[in-house]
Amino acid sequence: MQLSPTEARTYADRYPDRAKDQVVIDLAARIQKDGYLRLADLCAVCDWKSPRSARHARKNQEAEVRELSTYALRASCERSRIEVLQILQGVDYPTASVILHLYHSDEYPILDFRAIWSLGLPQPTFYRFAFWTELLTTWRAALAQCRRMEASISPRDFDRALWQYSKENQPRANKRVEATSVTRAESRESLPLAVAFRSVPHA
């Protein structure tokens, strides 16, 4: 990890968009109580993470948002949790990671090029489940390191620190456009669960 665990709190405290964060954080208590997202919740997450995708998110039906988010938040399989959400319009790996980060009872990273760089991982061309697993393992280990220095560091604090560290230190030449989720790519290699799920009839 490029970010020193001893500096995580310092960088987290310099993160500038806390008021914007609060809009989606404030939804957590109700979503965790209900066990699902509403369409308005999904649109709020998309507006926060990727405003360009928000118009696509608004094309989803209320019932499908509820059903698929219920499944993702209750699933025991990691692949199901991250990829079933991508059946929804406007949702790819990064946006699905935000839903898990903010609303799942387990701890998850946000998939973002800044976090990837700050953790010392190479930026992939496509986001696939194998990379998500690598990121998840690396991020959880790094968070545990930070907590040995300061036990009160939350997943949200840590994500803010990774983002801010990249913002201040990542060389411009190394900054790359966000990778494409494999579910959006024209690739037959390792088709994700979401693609298979689309082909199965559901009552």
* Model confidence, pTM: 0.85
Q: What is the pLDDT of residues 118-141, one digit of tens each?
A: 999 999 999 999 999 999 999 999
Tens of pLDDT along 15-27? Answer: 997 888 899 999 9
Q: What's the confidence (pLDDT) of residue 175? A: 54
Average pLDDT over residues 158-170: 94
CA nearest 5: which of 119, 175, 169, 135? 119
